[in-house]
């Protein structure tokens, strides 16, 4: 089946796939060839595209998935291939978000800080899960789930 992962900024992925695993708002979605037509909301999480035994992973920030015929389109708020994730930058973003949550702030600022924290944790989890074992950081609980 043909798969495209698109953000407002760019086409992140286009190619064939044997299976797509996506973080649906109601739970994990598994899409195989000839899947029934579907439009679903996606949550922030890991999007996995499998082809001939290999996997390509992406950290996505939510969005929508459309399945029609043998075509899957992921319209993501943000999408970053695991190989492109800057772990140091994601760790710094996590620390900034945690610091904002520690401070007394308005409800809107707290919601923004929580969203930033979720995005950074998704990016770190995807990057570390896909990294060689020596690059993982089990002490923070984000590399081996």
Q: Is residue 77 a contact partner of residue 7, using CB atoms and an 8 Å limit?
A: yes
Can you give the pTM of this predicted structure?
0.75
Residues with Cβ within 8 Å of residue 29, at least 6 apart in sequence: 20, 21, 22, 23, 38, 40, 65
User: Which domains are seen in the chain, by residue range?
Assistant: 2-82 (2.60.15.10), 86-140 (1.20.5)
The tens place of each residue's pLDDT in the chain, 145 residues long, gives 999 999 999 999 999 999 999 999 899 999 999 999 999 999 999 999 999 999 999 999 899 999 998 999 999 999 999 888 778 888 888 888 888 778 767 777 777 777 777 777 777 788 777 665 434 444 444 443 3
């Amino acid at each position: 089946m043909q798969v495209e992962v698109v953000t407002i900024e760019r086409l992140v992925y286009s190619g064939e796939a044997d299976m797509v695993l996506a973080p649906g708002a109601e739970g994990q979605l598994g899409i195989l060839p000839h899947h029934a037509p579907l439009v679903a909301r996606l949550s922030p999480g890991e999007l996995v595209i499998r082809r001939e035994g290999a996997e390509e992973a992406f950290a996505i920030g939510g969005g929508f998935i459309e399945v029609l015929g043998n075509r899957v389109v992921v319209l993501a708020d943000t999408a970053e291939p695991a190989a492109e994730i800057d772990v140091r930058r994601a760790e710094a973003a996590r620390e900034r978000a945690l610091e904002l949550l520690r401070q007394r702030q308005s409800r809107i600022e707290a919601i923004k800080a929580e969203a930033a924290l979720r995005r950074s944790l998704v990016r770190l989890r995807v990057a570390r899960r896909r990294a060689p074992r020596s690059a993982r950081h089990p002490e923070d609980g984000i590399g081996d789930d």
